[in-house]
A and B are shown apart, each in its own frame.
Chain A
């Protein structure tokens, strides 16, 4: 123990002459980064030296533990906290073991001050082993793979629902029902024929030229107006009348086509 505290230089591997100076002659130098905390370090010390976990030589282990902690160049403050708490726990255990009168429990039995630490170590060791075993399970995405879609594959195609005309019609029908009754577009046959109107326009123009506005005045509805305009266009196409507009947006004059014009 005292030897361990005296040895200032880090443990050197493969140099037998130095080995007796360290508290753990058979232990390779360790770095805290390799450990998952103080319990992990303690388990490493106990297991690698084949010590009895139920009868931990606290003095030896404390010395070895302290040596590892002190051997670290710099400790991350957050990590260091846990290690230092364990260091103080070990120190406390060591001192309690030196007490001549052990503490007794309710039934008068000796309480081993190491009991709590041992329980913690055993509990932790179980999960450490189980974690290792869990890691060996064939893991999806690492050892085994499924046919389904991986996030790695960038072209993921999902089929769109198939179009169904019947369903569409049914949906539409139900919308119509909600709106209230079916909506139909009614088509009526024309009441005035274009041909009839052509004759009428020619009749009006017999007397001479006429303004379009004048001609269209007094018609009862859109239908008649449209028919008349169609009639005028048809007459113009057939060279039966002439349409004249002297300026943009100006009034339009309709003239009967004369024989002289044709010539």
Chain B
């Protein structure tokens, strides 16, 4: 083994040669180096490539070299076909599955307020972005869907925590709370308005009396 070579270069070579993102575990097995050393080296490679045509990114639980997004158009020229645009219905379905997994088709439909065509779900499964992760123990035992590692890799996410604004997502209870709060404010406002009207009436009455 070429342990004399810097770990940095070993890792760089390994990540380039790998077909899929290389996990920390794999890098440790392959180089025999310590976790902290690998992390340091990876961070160094990352900063080295920060302003180059390719970038080192952490996706799907590993490191991968990718072309920089700003060269998307010129790189697309390599192929005849362009990546098809995702429809809004597909994106919405995928977003609901990603943020609410595991979830059923009925839940997706309830949230979107429309029937989700089986084509959309099948299409997402075909792309390898979602998979059936189990069945919900309710009548009919519907499939529960979740996202895959491929989804993370393709969307440039290292884990589900990296989904945009996932921490700000409100659950049903929080939404109910907001609605209740807003309604209380409104009714208070209305009460206040009513009082103002009353008092002005009083003033008017007083004047009339006067």
Residue positions of A touching B, CB distance < 8 A: 36-40, 54-55, 78-79, 81-82, 86, 110, 112, 115, 118-120, 122-124, 126-128, 130-135, 137-150, 152
Contact = CB atoms under 8 A, between A and B. Distances in A.
Nearest to B65: A147
Interface residues of B, number: 53
A144 B95 contact: no
Interface stretch (B27-35, B80-88, B191-199): B80-88
Grouping DSSP codes into helix (H, G, I), strand (E, B) and loop, the A interface class, with mixed when no group exceeds half, is helix
Nearest to A79: B114
Interface in B50-82: 55, 57, 59, 64-69, 72, 75, 79-81
A138 B69 contact: yes
Given A120-B113, A123-B172, A148-B19, 8 more contacts: A36-B88, A112-B183, A119-B172, A127-B92, A133-B165, A134-B155, A140-B59, A146-B66
A130 B113 contact: no
Given A122-B178, A132-B91, A146 B64 contact: yes
Contacts of B18: 148
B91 A126 contact: no
Given A36-B89, A54-B183, A118-B179, A144 B72 contact: yes
Contacts of B83: 139, 141-142
B54 to A, nearest CB: 8
Given A143-B69, A143-B72, A119 B179 contact: yes
B153 to A, nearest CB: 6
Contacts of B69: 138, 143-144
17 contacts: A38-B113, A39-B113, A39-B114, A119-B179, A123-B111, A130-B164, A131-B94, A134-B98, A135-B86, A141-B83, A142-B72, A144-B55, A144-B66, A144-B69, A145-B72, A148-B18, A148-B20
Contacts of A110: 187
Contacts of A120: 111, 113
Nearest to B73: A143
Nearest to A37: B114
B186 interface: yes
A132 B165 CA distance: 12
Contacts of B112: 36-37, 39, 124, 127
Interface of B: 16, 18-20, 55, 57, 59, 64-69, 72, 75, 79-81, 83, 86, 88-89, 91-92, 94-96, 98-99, 111-115, 153-157, 163-165, 169-170, 172, 175-176, 178-179, 182-183, 186-187
Contacts of A122: 170, 175, 178-179
Contacts of A135: 86, 91
A57 to B, nearest CB: 13
B95 A146 contact: no
Nearest to A78: B115
Contacts of B98: 134
Contact of A140 (B68, B111, B156, B169): B156
Nearest to A38: B113
A153 B80 CA distance: 10
A126 B92 contact: no
Nearest to B15: A147
B113 A82 contact: yes
